[in-house]
Amino acid sequence: MKIISQNTAFGGMQGVYSHPSDACKCDMTFAVFVPPQAVSQPCPVLWYLSGLTCTHQNVMDKGEYRRLAAELGLVIVCPDTSPRGDEVADEATNWQMGKGAGFYLDATQQPWAENYQMYTYITQELPALIGEQFRVDMSRQGIFGHSMGGHGAMTIALKTPDRFKSCSAFAPIVEPTTADWSAPALEKYLGSDQSTWRLYDACALVKDGAHFPEFLIDQGKADNFLDSGLRPWLFEQAIEGKDIALTLRLHERYDHSYFFISTFMDDHLRWHAERLA
């Protein structure tokens, strides 16, 4: 593991690191904020998955999480959104596909399958590295994310409910199999058999029997992507009659940006901290 940068913040340490990934077959970069409590004891881990076009850097610069994470004693891990490098397949003119748009899945189609193994990277390889290199309590993990990262957080929680104690999302893509900006990517990554797409769709997973106790979703009503890509009401419909609790909060005037995310970041951190205590 290579240290790219380390900066003291609110008594803790914000670091950026890179390492050679076996899953993605390239160097991967990630950020970790370690709170001051980790000096004396292992701390719970909260994973933040970023959205389309983003890297680990966006939430570091604009997410405004460190002050409260330090107070609550939360380790915040922020992975990248896709593999990177000159040899990694990409569609340079398509922001919804390729670098920055990994959709947190394991691709099966060429040329994507060679590097785009983000589900394995997020659920297996990176957690093993975090557990080895940082003072963390891996028995207390939560996960949240924004947009494509909200999709990733919800699907990962639904598929690995024994690992995570909490899950929330900002403006998640809840049904990517039918959304304008994600269905084409799923076909390129996974092929034309849409039954395989259901493994990476929160609504489909719930309909197929997956379970997670509860979710918190915040959504801006002025979000340009609300009706064409996000549609949180579809998840509300999918869990009807299921033993799954949902707190869905719709906010007037808020859009899809980090102005929205930073406004409600404290609410999410406190919500997770209560469940990771």
- Two tokens at 60? 């570091």
* Segment 244-252 mean pLDDT: 98
Over pLDDT 90: what percentage of the chain?
Answer: 99
pLDDT in tens, 201-244: 999 999 999 999 999 999 999 999 999 999 999 999 999 999 99
pLDDT in tens, 213-222: 999 999 999 9
* Segment 31-55 mean pLDDT: 97
Please tell me the predicted confidence (pLDDT) of residue 181: 82
Strands (E), the chain: 2-9, 12-21, 26-34, 43-49, 75-79, 136-146, 164-170, 214-220, 245-251
Give the CATH number of domain 2-276: 3.40.50.1820
* Segment 39-66 mean pLDDT: 97
Distance of CA 246 to the CA centre of its chain: 18
**In the annotation, is 18 catalytic?**
no
Please tell me the predicted confidence (pLDDT) of residue 22: 98
Segments in 10-95 forming alpha helices (H): 56-62, 66-72
The catalytic position among 56, 90, 223, 272 is 223
C-alpha to C-alpha distances, 231 to 102, 119, 185, 248, nearest whole angstrom: 20, 23, 18, 11
* pLDDT of residue 144 exceeding 90: yes
For 211, other C-beta atoms within 10 Å of its C-beta total: 13
Report the distance separating Cα 206 and Cα 188, nearest Å.
24
* Segment 108-113 mean pLDDT: 98
The answer to whether the CB of 261 falls within 8 A of the CB of 146 is yes
- Which residue from 57, 46, 117, 129 is spatially nearest to 82, judged by alpha carbons? 117
pTM: 0.97
Q: From the CA atom positions of the chain, what is the Rg in Å?
A: 17
The catalytic position among 50, 82, 147, 168 is 147
Domain ranges across the chain: 2-276
pLDDT in tens, 159-180: 999 999 999 999 999 999 999 8
* pLDDT of residue 99 exceeding 90: yes
Average pLDDT, rounded, for the chain? 97
Over pLDDT 70: what percentage of the chain?
Answer: 100
Q: In residues, how long is the chain?
A: 277
* pLDDT of residue 50 exceeding 90: yes
**In the annotation, is 147 catalytic?**
yes
- Two tokens at 158? 């639904």
CA angle 15, 129, 56 (to 5 degrees): 40
Peptide bond into 111 cis (omega under 30): yes
pLDDT in tens, 115-128: 999 999 999 999 99
Please tell me the predicted confidence (pLDDT) of residue 180: 87
**In the annotation, is 223 catalytic?**
yes
pLDDT band (50, 70, 90) for residue 86:
very high
The catalytic position among 56, 146, 151, 256 is 256
Segments in 145-211 forming alpha helices (H): 148-159, 183-190, 202-207
Give the full edge-to-edge strand order of the sheet including 136-146: 2-9, 12-21, 26-34, 75-79, 43-49, 136-146, 164-170, 214-220, 245-251
